[in-house]
Amino acid sequence: MSENSDDLGFDLVDFMPYLLNQAAEATSIEFQHFYKARYGMLRTEWRIVFHLGRYGAMTAKEICNRTNMHKTKISRGVGALESKRYLKREIDTSDRRLEKLSLTPQGARVFGELNKAAQDFNADFARLFSAEEGLILRRCLKRIAGL
């Protein structure tokens, strides 16, 4: 905290929103390489692919609820993924407002590769910390994010 005689307060690095943001940025930028450079995907798109690959077919709304991304972001991500042929839509016959989204075989393959990369990334990441640190870090972040 470094309170000092001039009462200027803490250093920026001790300000949690800043520190969290810097840590998140640094990490995101690293992982971007996998989905951006190789598959031309945006973060939103990668998240959608992850959701559909990991949890199965669902509607855009369900992805919204799970991630608290805004629906317009999802709508555009879905459009982009569709034009890349990674995803297909199927309109629910009992409620024609709903679109069930699912990965195409090609999309599933991309998910497989990215998911593998993500697991490796996470494993490497974990090596930065002791077991106790990792546990506490994860617990604290979940609490902050309200998860």
Closest approach of Cβ 105 to DNA, in Å?
21
48 binds DNA (CB under 7 A): no
Q: Which is nearer to DNA, 59 or 134 (CB)?
A: 59
96 binds DNA (CB under 7 A): yes
**What type of residue is 125?**
F
Q: Quick one: which segment of 25-33, 77-85, 90-98, 101-109 binds its own copies (CB under 8 A)? A: 25-33
Residue 39 contact, options DNA, its own copies, none, Cβ 5-8 Å cut-off depending on partner type: none
Q: Which is nearer to its own copies, 106 or 130 (CB)?
A: 130
